[in-house]
Structure 1
């Protein structure tokens, strides 16, 4: 910290020294990642008040670290304009929201999680971020598998407060600490990406990488999640394409990018017209019917506030209208539209959807360009994570809240750090 700004009181100076410590930032980043990833488990054990207190405490400490280290960061262009626009539109929706207090609490929750993501993104370099996520993923997957073994094999009873059904003895599906098989499957998929990048950067021992991938493979299979399985195929294809692009000589790389882009559009069109067989292949028929019914109900309500939406809520509140009126065909009370794009349109209207698609599209484009042109393998991580989140958003709304929003903001901010038009504009003006 600048000596002119250093506090004179010894106790306050000691606090500042701790906040400036790289070790404190590393621990705070890892704890923040773990808490956000395990919000379902934390909420199940200590309730909403406990979770909110934990996140608020972490956010205050993260804000304090960013403040005392403010001279160490290049703030221009560090936050994507589209991120600010999306959060801003969520805040503005309070003015016409049909449930204003729900919107206020939803926005505050979104901002707190977003602040923690910004702290992780700008307070740690990319390899450190990948390593921190890798450590947390190993913990989450290991404990999830242990809980399932306890529930399904040793005690043979469901652990209801965690949402664990104890199906591991019959080969799944398992839910672990994430509350549902799809959420556990998605987290496991992102964990596989993380472990692979760790291996590529040689930041962990080979034995650790092998053990981590085996653990992730076992958990992934046991989730029996059709959503995660389909997303895994898409991510695998994207990883192959990215690997080929990275190995292409620089003078031919742009043409290769365009070729893969055309191929992706054609593949998307084929997948759309062949969606029936694809759904059958991944055994997603039952889940698809549930989603179709939910989407129809949500779309009918969206028409009533087509442009501006009903107001931001984040996760749905089943005791508040209009969420109270929506039910799934399997009798469950939905907490989202199970489609991020429909969900955003429903809550923030067409304007919000345009901002969200621009935010996601720009973050994905930036991260893909960086991953294609930078030699460091760590740059592949944000690109593939955003591919997974973008694809899964057609079947889940995870990207809008908690761990999905956290990952989204981390990747978007890291991509903006590498390719910011505002920084480029300033360099041009200075030059």
Structure 2
């Protein structure tokens, strides 16, 4: 190895590079809409490509620290493989390949961060990134809605802050702002509880996240807030239960949640009316019914992976034509995957999410530090939001799903037993986690 190669290797494997890469990847992921509107889709694609290549280079330099078996969850690899294979039956192979490259690029970034930063470091980097982006969103909404009282058209900011919303900040839609605000609230609160951020920073951050979630006027925010509150309460109960009775409490809580879901489904129409989301739900119901008609044509393999519906492929354009609308997604991650990758893709996606949630929940319920609650609470947010939006299969939502699934698999996985058998060492989490 030459001197220049050795220097490059040291740079890629350094702590400073790990910290800088994490901040850059998080900023590009959550600020993707802003980057695209201020520059172009080509610029965003170039940034994503460079971060993906850099992430792969960092993992290669650190290959001695990594185990090939534990590089990524097997369900994630299978889902990515199915998405790539779908190019053979897709209605537009080039667009399917482009859509898959976006999926793969964000996955590589998330996998890289999951291996070079521990849970605390990841959470702190995410907290710092979201603080800046939320402050920027509020600043632009104040500029548009109060100071100049004019919309900022290229960012789709309508300037409704003075009227109490809805606002969307730099995230494109009010639902995306609400989703990001809930993720931020979870992160800010756990930062505060773990004392990784001082109260003078943590408390205003929580207030900022809560305010933006409120004025986003997103119908999904209330559902997300209730789901996270219920999950937090349940996790708190389990964590304070003696180990001998913990399994019984887990099953009781599971039965209670299942009962609550059945009751909520039975009384869905009064609940929707109370939330004032009747028109939104009616729109979604019409869309989902139309999607099921196309799913019936290709139930197992789907129509090929595309991600978002921004490009004009069949059957998406035809679905919008039949509905006389301009949907850019199925407004439900599960229906979107069912349409694009069929039953096979949906099963892999459910396995990826459910296994990650169960693993992270068991770890959080057994470990003393509240830090471990971050992963399952974020996964609960992703799961619930997937019922109303398709954020979890593109961009920041997909990035967070891969990151959380990798984090959960590092602490509870069948791979640990294989590693232990080969090395004679039982893998443990670092004390900072």
Match of 2:146 among 145, 149, 153: 153
2:400 pairs, out of 407, 412, 418, with 407
CA distance in 1, matches of 2:104, 2:315: 24
Structure 2 match to 1:393: 386
The 5-angstrom pairing of residues 108-147 of structure 1 reads 108-147=101-140
Q: 1:310 aligns with which of 303, 309, 316?
A: 303
Cα 1:78–1:63 shift into 2, 3 Å: closer
Q: What are structure 2's unaligned runs of at least 5 residues?
A: 425-433
Alpha carbons 1:118, 1:409 under 8 Å: kept: yes
The residue aligned with 1:214 is: 207
Deviation at 1:11, TM superposition (A): 2.5
1:65, CA displacement in angstroms? 1.1
Asked if 1:163 corresponds to 2:156, the answer is yes
Match of 1:346 in 2: 339
Give distance in 2, aligned partners of 1:139 and 1:389.
Answer: 22
Counting only pairs closer than 5 Å after superposition, residues 12-411 of structure 1 correspond to structure 2 as 12-327=5-320, 332-411=325-404
Contact 1:293–1:328 under 8 Å retained in 2: no
Task: Give me the whole-angstrom Cα distance separating, in 2, the residues matched to 1:373 and 1:428.
Answer: 24
CA distance in 2, matches of 1:357, 1:143: 35
SS, match of residue 327 in structure 1: helix
Separation (CA, whole Å) in 2 of partners of 1:224 and 1:181 = 7
Contact 1:33 1:133 in 2 (8 A): yes
Aligned-residue offset at 1:330: 9.3
Provide closer, same or farther for how the CA distance between residues 216 and 328 of structure 1 changes in structure 2, counting only shifts above 3 A: farther
Q: Is the 8 A contact 1:33 1:136 kept in 2?
A: yes
Q: Which runs of structure 1 show a deviation greater than 4 angstroms over 4 or more consecutive aligned residues?
A: 328-332, 428-431
**Shift in alpha-carbon separation, 1:332–1:134, aligned structure 2, 3 A:** farther
If the length of structure 2 is used for normalisation, what is the TM-score? 0.95
Cα offset, 1:329, TM superposition: 9.8
CA shift, 1:178, in A, is 0.7
Distance 1:427 1:323, change over 3 A: same
How far did residue 75 of structure 1 move? 3.4
SS at match of 2:297: helix
Gaps of 5+ in 1: 1-6
The separation in 2 between residues aligned to 1:198 and 1:220, in whole angstroms, is 19
Secondary structure at the residue paired with 2:70? coil
Please identify, of 27-36 and 325-334, the stretch whose mean Cα deviation from structure 2 is larger: 325-334
| Aligned match for 1:424, one of 400, 412, 417 | 417
Structure 1 residues 292, 305: CA separation in 2 closer, same or farther (over 3 Å shift)? same
Residue 144 of structure 2 contacts residue 159 of structure 2 at CA under 8 Å; is this kept in 1?
Answer: yes
